[in-house]
Chain A
Amino acid sequence: MKKVWRVAATEYLNAVRSKAFIIGVLAVPLIMAISIGAQFYAQKKTDVTPRRFAVLDRSGQLYPALAAKVQARTDGLRAGAKSVSVPLKEGQSLKVDLPPQAEFVVEEFQLRGDDLKAAELQLSGRVRRKELFAFVIIGPNVLDPRATNGTEVLYHTQTPTYQDLPAWVENTLSGEIRERRFTAAGVDSKQVRELSRPVTLQRLGLAEQKATGEVVQAKRENRIATLVVPVGGMVLLYLVVMTSAPALLNTVLEEKMQKISEVLLASVAPFELMLGKLLGTVLVSLTLSALYLGSLTWVLWRFEQLGNVPGQLFAWFFLFQVLALLMYGSVFLAIGAACNEIRDAQSLMFPVMMVVMVPYLMFIPVMESPTSPFSRGISLFPPATPMLMFLRLAIPPGPTWWEIVVGVVLTTAFMLGCVWASAKIFRIGILSQGQAPNLTKLVKWVFSK
């Protein structure tokens, strides 16, 4: 066992001292920071040039109201706050800049005669010459709810990707037209609004009764606790396992190609070598997850959200991480030992990756219905258990105790089986040369003496 730890320690130190590890650790937060920073930067660089547009109001009634609303919007933008405060801990808040918006400038276009096509052409020319950003043609019968012709509002521009102006025009005109239709029909629009007010749905957990008989009211559902923590935790678990385990394949293949394996095998038994590498990788991965979880814990504490993460979830995370790493890692080690080239390894990796992807492909139905027979069954399928049982554990109220026990026992047994079979393949494969074995041959190696 001493040699196993020596191999493990060397593997661990080689990995954590490497540039790849440091870059890997920093990569996720760095990418997040860059993307957030880029968004803020892009926001500041938003083009806020006033958007001038012309309105040809063929209804003859809507332009004044529209112009008034444009003015009200401009006044609001000029007078309104440029930022909002997001409360943090007591007495502290974070000032967040609001995205800047362009002002709109409206002008009326009078139709001379009935030549709508000529008017369209004229306005289009002004847009092309950049005198206008867009123009709007309001249909003559737009206020008549029963009309079938002339009811449309047409928006013309040569910058169709800009959404603020057409969206605002659509909303504003819809509101104005609806109000006028109510008035024309003799209906009190205020009353209509009151009567058609939507009901709000409150999401709650379940009420409980304590041993003392006291009834504890159901708490309001917290989306962070019920969605962000389970999915985020599972994705993080998947991420730390999948950034560590496949690296074993490359390490052992590289050692084999560089003829280091033979030197090592003169000093350590193949199983000691394999186990040492496996444990070294487990330690690397645990370091990685400790760094990530530590940082996330600090962020959650800083925003007073740590209470949404049950403490025992951290323990489950590390347990399932170790089980998954030993299970997947041993398989990747065996493939690396059996092959002589990365190309051969890739073809053997394919069926393994299909199995490894199962939890990632299945997590949505499990998340939506964590206690369904499908979710229960798939979370007891050992290759998927670490991720899916963790997901179920993170979604309140979690699986029953016997499901957790069965899941852990089955996964442990399966992991031991993987390590045993991989050790057999590793022992033969590590010194084999020539053509890479196929799956049938690997199975033969497993059951060879």
Chain B
Amino acid sequence: MGTVLRLAWRNLWRNRRRTWLTAGAIAFSTILLVGWVPIQFGAYDIMINATLRVFPGHAQVQRPGYQGKPKIRNAIDDAETLANSLRNGSKHFTGVAVRAQGFVLLSSGSRSYGAQIVGVEPEYEGDTSSIPGLIKEGRYLSSIDAQELVIGSALARNLKLKVGDEVTLLGGGKDGSVAAAILPVVGIFDSGSRELDRFFSEIPLHTFQDIFTMGDSAHTITIMGKSVEDQAQLLTALNDAIRDRGDVVVLGWEELVPGMKEAIQIDKVSGFIFLGILIAIVVFSILNTFLMSILERTREFGLMLALGSRPKRIAGLMMLESALLTLIGLSIGFIIGTALVYWAHVSGIQFPGAEDIMEQFNMPEMGRIYPQMKLFNFLLGPITIFVATNLAAWVPILRIRKLEPIEAMRTI
């Protein structure tokens, strides 16, 4: 076997130019593929995290039916006690926060706008939502029963409100009564999401419960896990934790933001189709040099056959040659590609104009992509090329078996 390997290696360097051309083509396509998949998957990470971090969280505990029809009456009794037991319950939960939600008409001196209002636990809300960290003017809510309100930047602008101004809220309480209050605005947040900035306001949970006659009930308990990948364990732990409460259900982020999973699916499928076509073009591009490196040498094969080599052995030699050739190209491409991706992983890739567009899609952080550094992502492309080129090499190799030594030696 050692002889065959040496023969194959020397054969490669008999025609340096052709070898470098082919290896170069393979290297180039490897760079392309090594870069592609991590960027694609990196984009999903950001899309998921950015969307979930802002408000929905990785999972929520709700009353059955609340997700589809968020009615104020459909509330979890004694929500804070349940939340406290979850906080102590499992290491999987990195953030647990109780929320109550309703719809109100917010009025300033001259303006009125409809808005979503959320009662939150200021102490814990920062663990599950990025809104407390996105206050651009003033401050976040101070305590669970403070009489104050924070509001989205676009809503504040529409209502002509500044920090310190008072706002009237008017809505319906849990018992059907009219809920009304006047609260000062202490902070304005800017999340980058148009929807949240235009329709959202938050007040402390106990204040919410007083105004909307909720007692000790609330609508959701939002849970953050360690990362999106631990979702399965998170859901299991969560389901265990609420087993003795028959009146609530657990919803994962796939159910909370149903569009996102499908969006990723569409993109994944179309991404792989595009990748597949690109690979096909690359393979046909490389195929010719491969074909030639074998067809050109008909005479040499004839000689080898005449000297007593078995067709099988020549075929083995050819297989080895193409494998070596592919490996040379792959290694070069892999090294360059990985270096590029690593560089992008550290500094992020910024597409010009992408930030504006992503903001429109409610994903402001998507403007900068950090490729996902995972072994699978790196190897997927190179492996596909390796398999494809070696399959392609079979086409000419099969011809060797049909060669007649005398005739083969006569060809030029």
Q: Do A and B bind each other?
A: no
Partner-A contacts on B (CB < 8 A)? none
